[in-house]
Amino acid sequence: MNTAAIDWGFAPHPVDYEAAVKLMETRVAAIAAGSAPELIWLVEHAEVYTAGTSAQPGDLIDPDRFPVHRTGRGGQYTYHGPGQRVVYVMLDVRQRFQGDVRKFVCVLEGLVIEALAQFGVVGAVRHGRVGVWVAREELGAGREDKIAAIGIRIRRGISFHGLALNVAPNLSHFDGIVPCGITDHGVTSLQGLGLSVSMGQADAVLKQVFEGEFGTVRNIGALSAAAISAQHATG
């Protein structure tokens, strides 16, 4: 297994979605070439809907509400916006998971479940529904809400995209899509569950659980989109 230190950084300001994708692609190429370390990058986006490779046109209910970006990650439609922690995970899946993408996704789901447990929230995975779910029996028998979405892409053995944890986003914005193509369950957040959790607190817990899985990361602090672009401008 690859035991090299992983860079851990966060964007201090909201990152344009298309710019983030381009910069991830650049970093992935550098990781694959051995010229840059792996990176876990925590960001927030301005309001945007994104369509994964399995997105169905009918699941975009309100196409004029926010910009819509088609992207190469797996999954269907999702929403990104303020109050949601997006964790972009650029790791060498060849080395760390022997190329087993399913195992990699399961590990990401498990890390979210571990993080939620730190806040007293019981998360779970469900067959046929990627992501992490919480029971909402108070809203109806069998009701479960999604609290974290996962969608990745692999290029040259390196992952990008990642996961999105709902800390305190405006949940009404999920009404403009059928999130992940699922109509019989809802979407929630830590705030929606009655918890007051800051983004900093969520980040600290995420760092803890990621280090439990991958070993100590190299904290590189604030890392803007412009800084990543400059890092690889001559690469």
What are the catalytic residues?
180
What separation in angstroms does the CA of 105 have from each of 65, 89, 101? 30, 11, 6
The residue among 34, 43, 93 whose CA lies nearest residue 214 is 93
What separation in angstroms does the CA of 123 have from each of 70, 116, 130, 136? 28, 7, 12, 11
Length of the chain measured in residues: 235
C-alpha R_g of the chain: 17
Question: With the C-alpha atoms ordered 61, 25, 102, 202, is the resulting torsion angle positive or negative?
Answer: negative
Rounded CA separation 76/177 (Å): 10
The residue among 87, 82, 116 whose CA lies nearest residue 14 is 82
